[in-house]
Amino acid sequence: MALLQIPGLPGATELILMVLVLAVYIGLPAAGMVLVYNFLDGKRGYEKRVSELERRVETLESELSEE
């Protein structure tokens, strides 16, 4: 705590404000990028699931036609 009382260095209030500004400038864009990535990844997962289901339907239809 003695470090915060040295003249010329920012005080506790200024340090808290700098941390909050840093969190807003870095944290919010990073959170936005993570949300966009997860949204797009979910869409790709949906397309992958649909293609797997289509492939499964084709195999079942071919098994049914063989019988």
What does the pLDDT look like over 3-19, one tens digit per residue? Answer: 556 667 677 788 899 99
What tokens does 27 get? 């944290």
Can you give the pLDDT at residue 22? 92
**What average pLDDT does the structure give for the chain?**
84
pLDDT beyond 90 at 56: yes
DSSP state of 7: T
Record the pTM: 0.48
3-state secondary structure of 11: coil
CA atoms within 13 A of residue 14's CA, in its CB half-sphere: 6
24 neighbors 16 (Cβ within 8 angstroms): no
28/8 Cα distance (integer angstroms): 30
CB contact set of 15 (below 8 Å; sequence gap of 6+): 4
pLDDT beyond 90 at 59: yes
